[in-house]
Amino acid sequence: MGRNGSAARTRMETCAVCGKLFPSGRLYHASSIRPGIFELIRQDVGGWSLDSRICGPDLSQYRRRYVADLLEQERGELSGLDRQVLESFEKGVSSVHASAAGLDKELEGETLGQRAADRVAAFGGSWGFIITFVVVLLCWMTINVIGFLGGGFDPYPFILLNLLLSCIAALQAPVIMMSQRRQEEKDRIRAENDYMINLRAELEIRQLHDMIEHQMAHQWERLAELQQIQIELLEGHQPPTQPPAKNSS
């Protein structure tokens, strides 16, 4: 019945999973599905066999579950990031865009204090800071040693200068730590972003691999079917219009 050429192309068949009718060309043959996914469907669907057909949406759903199982086996447990990637994968949207937008938002949401800490830490770690500081120290000492400007407000052991330097050092340390923590946070977000992109690429490649495998199996099936039709035509039901070609050679 399936070998009726053009008639077979428009025939409707049911999907074994959801039971809806589809044009047979849009259904996937059970024999062309990866063994792992095949087993997964067999656990769920009662009359699932090698002759069954499945529709695209159902197949992609099972494929997602299969990939999720694979990931779970490899990593033990799915993290929130893995789940996010899987969801974006199922929806067909790019997770890269979503997470990149999240990164921007997180960086935009910094407060005035955080930005100030960044600036101070950046200035504190520059040659400009060192040179300015040395110049200020030298000025302070010269003024007080020579007795310039009213005879030295902070004489030789420079006790006031000492106090000032201690205060600056005490304040600088927490500012630098704050800035470092924020830098770490940014790095973490970027690393998560990278991880999601990599995982998604891996899944994408797996799916492509599946698709190519499916295409090849499908094509092979079609070729075999065509050959069968030709053999049947040659064996018995030769149409009356064909014979003259035989005599000419």
Q: Closest separation between CB of residue 21 and Zn ion, Å? A: 10
Looking at 15, 85, 121, 203, which residue binds Zn ion (CB under 5 A)? 15
- Cα–Cα distance measured from residue 208 to residue 192, given in angstroms and rounded to the nearest whole number: 24
- Cα–Cα distance measured from residue 122 to residue 103, given in angstroms and rounded to the nearest whole number: 22
Q: Are 56 and 37 in contact (CB under 8 A)?
A: no
Q: Between residues 15 and 121, which has the closer beta carbon with respect to Zn ion?
A: 15
Total binding residues toward Zn ion, as defined by CB under 5 A: 5
Q: Closest separation between CB of residue 18 and Zn ion, Å? A: 3
Measuring CA to CA, which residue among 98, 32, 43, 93 is closest to residue 65?
43
What's the Cα-to-Cα distance from 172 to each of 114, 176, 204, rounded to whole Å?
14, 6, 48
Q: Between residues 18 and 136, which has the closer beta carbon with respect to Zn ion?
A: 18
Q: Closest separation between CB of residue 24 and Zn ion, Å? A: 13
Measuring CA to CA, which residue among 181, 161, 173 is closest to residue 120?
173
Q: Closest separation between CB of residue 49 and Zn ion, Å? A: 16
Token pair belonging to 124? 């504190």
Q: Between residues 28 and 89, which has the closer beta carbon with respect to Zn ion?
A: 28
Q: Does 18 bind Zn ion (CB under 5 A)?
A: yes
Residues in region 30-59 near Zn ion by CB under 5 A: 55, 58
Q: Does 203 bind Zn ion (CB under 5 A)?
A: no
Residues lying near Zn ion in the complex (CB under 5 A) are found at 15, 17-18, 55, 58
